[in-house]
Amino acid sequence: MRVSQGYVKYSKHNRDVGALGFALGLVRNMTAFLISTSLFLAASGVCKLYLSFLLYGIAPRWNLLTATFLLVFSVYGLNKLTDIKEDRINNPERVGYVEKVARILKYTVPLALFLSLVLSVFSSPWAVLVVLFPIVSGVLYSIRVSPNYPRLKDITGIKNTIIALTWANGTTFLPYLVAGSVQPQKVILIYYFFFMKSMINTILFDIRDIKGDKISGIKTIPVRLGFEKSRKLLLLLNSTFIPWLTVAYILGYFEEYLPVLVFAILNGYLYILHFARNGYKPGKTLDLWVDGEWFYTLALALAL
């Protein structure tokens, strides 16, 4: 009888372990798919824009949030298709997913671009120009327009600046266009926050991709500076948020969300120190923590 009971418990334990393993495997595969196809980043971009609406003190416009999702998905989807060579070294798992859905991406990317433009028209004609900027810069960033000129991503520092400008333009100016009268100082502070956050994050991702970029001849900031100097640069850039926050406090801006902004700054220090280490291979953890920061940062803002 005891043997039978032990067998039943053993069988149940195996089933539980098997079910848990299946569930974890499903979550890992789903996470890898969302990250590899830029759907995760597109959703994170929506959260970033939503937070910008909150900093302006206005209700979010859902057509602009949707346009942002489609825009980020399409621009980064294009980049995924053109970066297969580098990613075979830096991120072979992502290449596997991208190649599986490459045909779908070729059709959905232009469709998403078109829909993002249509949705932006409903807010303001100027919003179309804001949306067009990442489209043009995304093409120049990913594609070699002429054999005589390099891609933007091949020029040291330019790629990071273009990416940061693209994120800051959309995240700052789309809410501004529907906010009414806003003091210029407030707009500048919001712009700087999202610009510098994006600059830090894109350099951090270049640290992860340093091996493949070296082989491909792409002279990123980490390739030029090396790990240690890149780490110091990132810490310095993140430290500029301290005087930024002081100015915002003195001017009386973002009072309701000061704890959120302090959290975002401290979180920046944490992931820089964690990921900017020589020889460290973060994998999808970097995407989840850094690209995903706007999910939990927005959640904190909404909780307040």
Which tens digit of pLDDT belongs to each residue from 203-243?
A: 998 888 787 777 777 788 888 888 889 999 999 999 999 99
Closest CA to 264 of 280, 281, 241, 288: 241
Q: Where are the alpha helices (DSSP H) in 37-124?
A: 39-56, 62-82, 84-90, 92-100, 102-121
Report the alpha-carbon angle 72-68-191, nearest 5: 95
pLDDT value of residue 286: 86
Query: How many Cβ atoms from other residues are within 10 Å of residue 224's Cβ?
Result: 11
pLDDT value of residue 241: 98
Which tens digit of pLDDT belongs to each residue from 169-197?
A: 999 999 999 888 899 999 999 999 999 99
pTM over 0.85: no
Give the tokens for residue 282: 């973060």
pLDDT value of residue 194: 97
The CATH class that applies to domain 17-303 reads mainly alpha
Which tens digit of pLDDT belongs to each residue from 44-80?
A: 999 999 999 999 999 999 999 999 999 998 888 776 6
- Three-class DSSP category at 304: coil
Closest CA to 49 of 201, 198, 181: 198
Q: Concatenated DSSP letters for 216-227?
A: HT---HHHHH-H
* Whole-number Å distance between alpha carbons of 121 and 30: 33
Q: Where are the alpha helices (DSSP H) in the chain?
A: 2-36, 39-56, 62-82, 84-90, 92-100, 102-121, 125-142, 158-179, 184-208, 210-216, 221-225, 227-239, 241-251, 258-275, 284-286, 293-303
Which tens digit of pLDDT belongs to each residue from 133-150?
A: 887 776 666 666 666 666
For residue 25, report the phi and psi dihedrals to the nearest 5 degrees.
Answer: -65, -40
pLDDT of 3 above 70: no
* Whole-number Å distance between alpha carbons of 227 and 231: 6
**Would you list the domain boundaries of the chain?**
17-303
Q: Which pLDDT band, with edges at 50, 70 and 90, does 254 fall under?
A: very high
Closest CA to 167 of 290, 282, 251, 299: 290
